[in-house]
Structure 1
Amino acid sequence: MTNDADRAAPSEQLRDLAERYGISTEYWSFFGDRVHVPAATLRAVLEAMGVATFTEEQVHTALAERDAQPWRELVPPSLVLREGAEHAVDVRVRDGHDVTLTLRLEDGTERTLELPDQEPERRDLDTGTVWGLRAPLPADLPLGWHAVHAVEHRLRGGETGGDAGGEAVREATCVVAITPQRLPEPTLRPGLGGRGWGLMAQLYSVRSRASWGIGDFADLADIARLVGERGGDFVLVNPIHAAEVAGPIEPSPYLPTSRRFVNPLYLRPEDIREAAYLPSSQRALVEWAHDSVRASNTDPARIDRDAAWSAKKAALEVVFAAPRSAGRQRAFEAYVAREGRPLADFALWCALQEHFEGTVEPEEAHDVTSPLVARLRTELAERVEFYEWLQWIADEQLAAAQASAHEAGMSVGVMHDLAVGVHPEGSDAWSLRRMYATGITVGAPPDMYNQQGQDWSQPPWRPDALAREAYAPLRDMIRSLLRHAGALRIDHIIGFFRLWWIPAGQGAGNGAYVRYDHEAMIGVLALEAHRAGAVIIGEDLGNVEPWVREYLSSRGILGTSVLWFEYEDGHPAPPEHYRRLLLATVNTHDLPPTAGYLAGEHVDLRARLGLLTEPVEHVRAEAERERDQMLGILRERGLIGEYPSEREIVEALHVHLVASDSLLIGVALVDAVGERRAQNQPGTFREYPNWQIPLADSSGHAVLVDELDDVVRFQSLTAAVDTALHRWSQERGLA
């Protein structure tokens, strides 16, 4: 509960300080109201950034230090720049000193940077006078990661007029990333006028007869092949980020322990090369482990991640213990060397989870630099190696899935999904603690679907820490995700621009927006996507400022439109008005499948769970009005008759979507089999089995990957979308 003191307005100094740290002191709500952020919230957010603001004297001191900080650095820690433009590095040299600058290109070549004649800027600090200079960078710098190394020397012969080349007293490096101005439009399979379609699936929910109770990378390869053969260009799956390895496993793929590494729960043990050469006694152990969960493949009720992982882990340990050929061992060692310390820390965190399972971890275990962790790194070396090996195997199986997609004719192939953040007690938050704000979670302010706001329980990256680390964690994460994928969807891409920070204990509605250096973050994203030849899609739904969408389009990043959310003047927007750079879909994982949505099950579910803030009759009437309005549009366009079946309506909605110019059309697998249950109900935790619903048909029977090609609704919907795209292309003379 908040009191008047909590809602007190900030002083002018406090507002100024907050704005200088990128904290918005006011914002426009989803409902059109101008909201002023109270002083208590601003102080809490600043405190999370390491800025003391409890008194006005501290605020005054912090303001002065914020202004002085750039002048205390010889060069800034990083610059993210666009190719082809003129740029310069700010250099701050202390009085009585000189500086030499060396530009080191990514390919290892070096150039000396000259400081042209210029009138330096002067700043007097508490430590003395500092002179500000600008060192121009070559305009022809290639795309990539470069560095400017600066060495400050004390002048010989006095403070002024002395000779350069004295003792080196300070060194610093500025990482310089040169990024593309714009990503090119994706090259899709010919015949569709530059457009394409694909399938969207929650991988864990899509099982086959050979699965271990949960969908896996082998199932992904089979789905990709099937969709590719039917004319599809991509398969979008939920985030496959790492989860817990000691139960219970968090069901939400959007609350991972690490976004750089992969969840080994998606491995298929039998597909590991060494598994084929196991002696019969070891092979029997793998088969017995599989038998313990095989029957759950046809259970339509709920995914049991803990049971699946327990069985898989036992089998994977058997395969890990099997001898590897010299070539395979070298490949494993090369992978470990390439991934470096981040992999070693992630694997250690997994081993520590096992080691302390069922006990209370000592405080020292929460610090990656503690003596206890250093000792356990050695004592648990074999388990660390096991978890490193799991990541290597995951890398191999993801490569196989992408190869399967391309062999089937897909131009994009696997499309991964990037979660907004990580679990507060996960591997990333543990090993990269300096990168995250403490005492803060991120979420969203109130809107029409979540009228109390949302708290996603994830700590945010600190903008200043990202710049200080030259955006390396972001770079490495994107690079890892795109290694064996043709596209990446970024959930809530507005997080690259601003995030809703919620101080601990204040409630989801009592936060503030914190701005990020979007030019730098999108630049890093574009550079890594360019190098991977990948498509980037930003989920830009909700309370997004219009200029953000325009900016993303200018960088060649696709946006997202969901049919039910696109409105103009109170009416559904015609698809012809959608943007071209777009992934357009009928629904999203935060809504029931289309069959359930048409039946108003999203209203019934929220009513049962007590999530409505308006009378259920009113909400249901609005949902029926929305549905009838859409059906009227479909009839006007001749896409349905007077009394259409559910299947006809679902197909008509997708064909209607094809009337847009949007580059990509997404077809949800749940819509292609008649599933009605929602995968996720926002605003719930224990009230609903989020992210645990297996794929099933309209009768409630589990649908397996092996059976998909024989499902009439699957055949019909995918054929309808493919045919509609071909017709669209032919009508415009683009086929």
Structure 2
Amino acid sequence: MDLYAKARTLGVQTEYIDGSGHRRVTTPEALSAILDALPPQTPRRILAEPVVIRSSRIAPSELLETARLPVKWKVIGGAAALAQGEAHDRSISWPPALPDGVHRLQLSDASGASEELPLLVAPEKAFAGDFDRCWVIAVQLYGVRSARNWGIGDFTDLKGLIEFAHHLGADGVGLNPLHVLFDDRPGDCSPYSPNSRLFLNALYIDVEDIPEFKLDTETRATLAQLRTRDLVDYVAVAAVKWRALRSAFAAFKTNPGLGRWHEFETYRRERGTLLSRFACFEVIRHKLSMPWWDWPDEWRQPSETACAKLRRARDTAADVEFVEFVQWTADRQLGACEELAHKLGMRVGLYLDVAVGVQSDGFDAWNEQIAISRQLGVGAPPDPLNTAGQDWGLAGFNAAGLELRGFEPFRQMLAAAMRHAGAVRLDHAFGLKRLYLVPRGFGPANGAYVLMPFEALLAATAQESVAHRCVVIGEDLGTVPEGFREQMNGWGIWSYLVMMFERDDQGAFRNADYYLADALVTFNTHDLSTYAGWRSFSDLKTKRALGIDPGETDEGRWHALGKLDDVLREHGIHSHDFYSVTGFLARTRSRMMAVSMEDLLGLVDQPNIPGTVYEHPNWRRRLPVSIEHLASAIDIDALKRATQQRSRA
């Protein structure tokens, strides 16, 4: 079979139209590398894709032309057969009473062909939220400054932010991803490049909140220096924090107290095999100091036998337990933040972000070697803002592997994010339908779109959303596949509307009535200019100084500023400060609005400039005002007036 024909049978789109309208064809060399990196697949003969049954819509599945009648089928749930039957025409009508969940469907036809694929029974829609309209404050947690933190924002600061947001009438706090990074590479601080999306970043732990911890004089002196810095010194913060966590763990082991030990054991049981594997992975990673694909055979694949041996060994047992202790501590402190928000009556509480991929040498890629392709980087094709295309250096899920694993890795990722959240945002939600993958060693313009089992992933998302009572927002910015938003919204997953981009072909900003109801609305994102930076052209100047094409001229910006004034005046708003823009966004139908702390403080610099790593202090800037003085740094009366239409009474 021709290489391009083979690719198409496996769901690889060998050509695409980029964001500038240019047709691009993947080279044979890059295409071959992409196919080699995907799990081996046998073309299906009976059913084309996983079966999705929505609770109120029992729809038949159409058989492929290659299927030979009759076709026998059986639905297996756990170890039991839930239903079975035989199809004598070219469709299968499913029984109406199958339980919710992910089951296995076994099929065989008259030619002797057989195959097995997932069958998902899902709610009609994702959790819709139990509020009309509300707003949240969006914060980069690492950048929060306080009189007591250790040079980086932590979960005790988050409690303070929740109380502050509650005082303002907000219903929650939105955060950057809290995923665990690499403790031995603290300088690699992007929250969107995680070691794992299943566990938490320990640098957000308030060590002084651990009952067993005692602060010594040496640490106290170091903290005084860290608190004065304008950028998070991740290397220094990590050194002092990990030393303190080790000290707290040693004291816990010596005298844990019955209640504390019981709570620790309960957490370990809850997280089960995943936590045990993660702890073992971290211990082996530190011992071997090499990528997991170069490890000895015993450890190259996850193994319960090898994990059990590591937990018993005298020189590693305590190290495994330490990793679990750290994760328990982080989970306990984040859970306390969720409880506080609930106690205050906040209708969202925590709004958390989920990264689109993981580092290829991290835990998730090791633990899910079938479902995650480490040789393929997730990215985006060339567009007007990034004319060379993007390779984010992250490994993502692949369709064949997810289907083989019954979508369990995807559901685990969602469950981890939703564990303490009232809303989550899926970064680059287009990845649910198709992922732009770049093979290692090739430039980002030479990738290809690979189709994903969109309907099945939406069904799995709805399952977890309803189970956790958590609203799901899909970040749908950029080149939108045809029908994507309609299908996503049809499953109750909200859109992500950024006012900067909500303009017509003449550059006019959309009216308030244009915005969707089931959506989160915001002026900008962490990857875009702050409002003050946008008005002052600072973002354009900064990008040009870095040698980056900003994708906009000064004349274009002046035009945009004029168009902003126009839309505000049309809505009876005769000023253009940030509170005026917030007042406009508050009038939209969109049920959730996010207001960034950087904009409330009038900051010029944005948290992250895409396309830079070391050229700009991405993910390092600390707020210039401590949490204790936020109330005097923000015009609270103006903010309350702007958000009055969607604030709690």
**TM-score higher than 0.5:** yes
**How far apart in 1 are the matches of 2:82 and 2:56?**
19
Letter of the structure 2 residue corresponding to residue 710 of structure 1:
S
**How far apart in 2 are the matches of 1:76 and 1:374?**
40
Q: Indicate how the Cα distance of structure 1 residues 635 and 556 shifts in structure 2: closer, same or farther if over 3 A, else same.
A: same
The residue that corresponds to 1:144 in the other structure is: 101
For residues 600-645 of structure 1, give each alpha carbon's deviation from its aligned partner in whole angstroms, at most 9, with x where no partner exists. Answer: 111001110001288xxx722222221232134334544235xxxx
What is the aligned counterpart of 1:213 among 145, 151, 154?
A: 151
**How far apart in 2 are the matches of 1:362 and 1:175?**
33
How far apart are 1:198 and its partner, in Å? Answer: 0.8
**How far apart in 2 are the matches of 1:349 and 1:237?**
27
For residues 261-315 of structure 1, give each alpha carbon's deviation from its aligned partner in whole angstroms, at most 9, with x where no partner exists. Answer: 111111111222444xxxxxxx244x64354124322422x11122112111111
The residue that corresponds to 1:591 in the other structure is: 528
Q: Indicate how the Cα distance of structure 1 residues 35 and 284 shifts in structure 2: closer, same or farther if over 3 A, else same.
A: closer
**How far apart in 2 are the matches of 1:538 and 1:33?**
26
The residue that corresponds to 1:407 in the other structure is: 343
Letter of the structure 2 residue corresponding to residue 206 of structure 1:
V
The residue that corresponds to 2:55 in the other structure is: 83
**How far apart in 2 are the matches of 1:284 and 1:612?**
48
How far apart are 1:16 and its partner, in Å? Answer: 2.6
1:314 partnered with 2:243: yes
1:428 partnered with 2:361: no
For residues 481-530 of structure 1, give each alpha carbon's deviation from its aligned partner in whole angstroms, at most 9, with x where no partner exists. Answer: 11111010111111111111112222111111111011111111111011
Alignment of 1:397-546 (within 5 A): 397-546=333-482
The residue that corresponds to 1:179 in the other structure is: 122
**How far apart in 1 are the matches of 2:18 and 2:114?**
46
The residue that corresponds to 2:6 in the other structure is: 17
**How far apart in 1 are the matches of 2:290 and 2:377?**
27
What is the aligned counterpart of 2:234 among 292, 302, 305?
A: 305
Given that 1:243 and 1:249 are in contact with CA atoms closer than 8 Å, whether structure 2 keeps it comes out as no
1:621 partnered with 2:555: yes
For residues 94-147 of structure 1, give each alpha carbon's deviation from its aligned partner in whole angstroms, at most 9, with x where no partner exists. Answer: 99xx99957447xx9x5653424x5489xxxxxxxxxxxx87643122333445
Given that 1:259 and 1:422 are in contact with CA atoms closer than 8 Å, whether structure 2 keeps it comes out as yes
How far apart are 1:579 and its partner, in Å? Answer: 1.2
Q: Indicate how the Cα distance of structure 1 residues 712 and 100 shifts in structure 2: closer, same or farther if over 3 A, else same.
A: closer
What is the aligned counterpart of 1:569 among 497, 501, 505?
A: 505
**How far apart in 1 are the matches of 2:105 and 2:439?**
38
1:113 partnered with 2:83: yes
The residue that corresponds to 2:641 in the other structure is: 720
Counterpart secondary structure, 1:679: coil
In structure 2, the gaps of 5 or more residues are none
For residues 528-564 of structure 1, give each alpha carbon's deviation from its aligned partner in whole angstroms, at most 9, with x where no partner exists. Answer: 0111111111110111135111112111111111111
The residue that corresponds to 2:139 in the other structure is: 201
**How far apart in 2 are the matches of 1:606 and 1:245?**
31
What is the aligned counterpart of 1:338 among 262, 270, 287?
A: 270
Rg bigger for which structure?
1
What is the aligned counterpart of 1:677 among 584, 605, 613?
A: 605
Q: Indicate how the Cα distance of structure 1 residues 717 and 505 shifts in structure 2: closer, same or farther if over 3 A, else same.
A: farther
How far apart are 1:209 and its partner, in Å? Answer: 1.3
Counterpart secondary structure, 1:177: strand
How far apart are 1:712 and its partner, in Å? Answer: 3.2
Per mean C-alpha deviation after superposition, the further-off stretch among 37-46 and 589-598 is 37-46
Given that 1:289 and 1:312 are in contact with CA atoms closer than 8 Å, whether structure 2 keeps it comes out as no
For residues 55-101 of structure 1, give each alpha carbon's deviation from its aligned partner in whole angstroms, at most 9, with x where no partner exists. Answer: xxxxxxxxxx833x557xxx999644322343679999x99xx9995
How far apart are 1:341 and its partner, in Å? Answer: 2.1
What is the aligned counterpart of 1:29 among 18, 35, 53?
A: 18
Given that 2:197 and 2:416 are in contact with CA atoms closer than 8 Å, whether structure 1 keeps it comes out as no
**How far apart in 2 are the matches of 1:291 and 1:482?**
38
Counterpart secondary structure, 1:434: coil
Letter of the structure 2 residue corresponding to residue 718 of structure 1:
L
Given that 1:225 and 1:407 are in contact with CA atoms closer than 8 Å, whether structure 2 keeps it comes out as no
Letter of the structure 1 residue corresponding to residue 277 of structure 2:
D
Given that 1:212 and 1:290 are in contact with CA atoms closer than 8 Å, whether structure 2 keeps it comes out as no
Given that 2:189 and 2:234 are in contact with CA atoms closer than 8 Å, whether structure 1 keeps it comes out as yes
How far apart are 1:205 and its partner, in Å? Answer: 0.5
Q: Looking at both structures, which has the greater relative contact order when contacts are Cα pairs under 8 Å and sequence separation is at least 6?
A: 2
**How far apart in 1 are the matches of 2:360 and 2:129?**
36
**How far apart in 1 are the matches of 2:221 and 2:554?**
46
**How far apart in 2 are the matches of 1:620 and 1:171?**
62
Q: TM-score, normalised by structure 2?
A: 0.89
For residues 704-728 of structure 1, give each alpha carbon's deviation from its aligned partner in whole angstroms, at most 9, with x where no partner exists. Answer: 1121123233x245313322447xx
Q: TM-score, normalised by structure 1?
A: 0.79
Letter of the structure 2 residue corresponding to residue 214 of structure 1:
I
The residue that corresponds to 2:626 in the other structure is: 704
**How far apart in 2 are the matches of 1:442 and 1:284?**
43
How far apart are 1:667 and its partner, in Å? Answer: 0.4
The residue that corresponds to 1:252 in the other structure is: 190
1:608 partnered with 2:535: no
How far apart are 1:361 and its partner, in Å? Answer: 10
Given that 1:222 and 1:404 are in contact with CA atoms closer than 8 Å, whether structure 2 keeps it comes out as no
Given that 1:26 and 1:34 are in contact with CA atoms closer than 8 Å, whether structure 2 keeps it comes out as yes
Identity %: 30
**How far apart in 2 are the matches of 1:40 and 1:288?**
57
**How far apart in 2 are the matches of 1:243 and 1:86?**
43
**How far apart in 2 are the matches of 1:695 and 1:687?**
20
1:662 partnered with 2:583: no
For residues 630-689 of structure 1, give each alpha carbon's deviation from its aligned partner in whole angstroms, at most 9, with x where no partner exists. Answer: 134334544235xxxxxx611111112223211111100111112111111111112111
Given that 2:208 and 2:215 are in contact with CA atoms closer than 8 Å, whether structure 1 keeps it comes out as no
**Cα RMSD (Å) of the superposition?**
3.4
Counterpart secondary structure, 1:567: coil
Letter of the structure 2 residue corresponding to residue 140 of structure 1:
A
**How far apart in 2 are the matches of 1:582 and 1:705?**
29
The residue that corresponds to 1:326 in the other structure is: 258
